[in-house]
Amino acid sequence: MDRDRIVVGVDTHTATHCAASLDGAGRLLGVAQFTANASGYRRRLRRARGKSDPIDAEAAARAVLSGLATSPPKIATGPIEAIRALRVARIGALKAKTAATNTLRSMIVTAPEVLRAQLPVGGLPNKIIDACLALRPNHGVLSDPVQATKLALRSIARRAHDLREEIRQLAQLLALAAPRTSRVFAMGLDTTSALLVAIGDNPERLRSEAAFARMCGVAPIPASSGKTIRHRLHRGGNR
């Protein structure tokens, strides 16, 4: 082993990163903490405080030094990182679209009878959205409950329609970035995108099925004691 080598382990957080450095013999050289921004990345370090972050950072450095940590890190510079960003937007859009659709349903139930008879109450969400989009309120007589309700329904439906288009953006990117994975039986949009995001833009870092199982948190690890021989699932992965 090269005794002159220095290994640095980093415990990452949203606002700050904590780094610990070890020499080739495993001796702790120092711990430092820096902000997770441009100035922090230029190594403007400040004195570490607390105990959990330095311990985690030191453990990361020792894992590299001992040879246990051999897998390359996940990179985020390609289409999978773009999928991750759109997936975050899609999750929020789905929640907002569901809320908008539920609002449409409840407003239709309490709408004036002449309007309620024109609209589907128990139909599919997209059918309700399209029906409300087709309404044409008379803006000149908004004091009329029928016209005001038309305007409210159309406004909410337009919002739901925009969210629906936003949701579809992820499907278009998945079809381009991972066509084979998208065609796997029973792999829906959310499952496929979650799997790809977990793997990252460099899938070659998963060298075996065992590595994939470890990443997913489903790898069996020994949990035996005395005459009791058993295993449990590894909890360190992305389940």
Please say whether the dihedral angle defined by the alpha carbons of residues 32, 38, 42 and 44, taken in this order, is positive or negative. negative
pTM confidence score: 0.61
- What confidence score (pLDDT) does residue 2 get? 62
169/62 Cα distance (integer angstroms): 43
Q: What is the pLDDT of residues 69-114, one digit of tens each?
A: 667 777 888 899 999 999 999 999 999 999 999 999 999 999 999 8
Residue 129: which H helix or E strand, with range?
helix 125-133
- What confidence score (pLDDT) does residue 44 get? 42
158/154 Cα distance (integer angstroms): 6
- What confidence score (pLDDT) does residue 234 get? 79
- What confidence score (pLDDT) does residue 235 get? 77
Residue boundaries of the structural domains of the chain: 7-66, 79-196, 206-239
What is the residue-wise DSSP string for 54-101? HHHHHHHHHHHHHT---SPPPP-SSHHHHHHHHHHHHHHHHHHHHHHH
For residues 119 and 131, the answer to whether their CB atoms sit within 8 Å is yes
Q: What is the pLDDT of residues 179-200, one digit of tens each?
A: 888 888 888 888 889 888 888 8
- What confidence score (pLDDT) does residue 146 get? 92
| DSSP for residue 155 | H
- What confidence score (pLDDT) does residue 150 get? 93
- Which parts of the chain sit beneath pLDDT 50? 1, 44-51
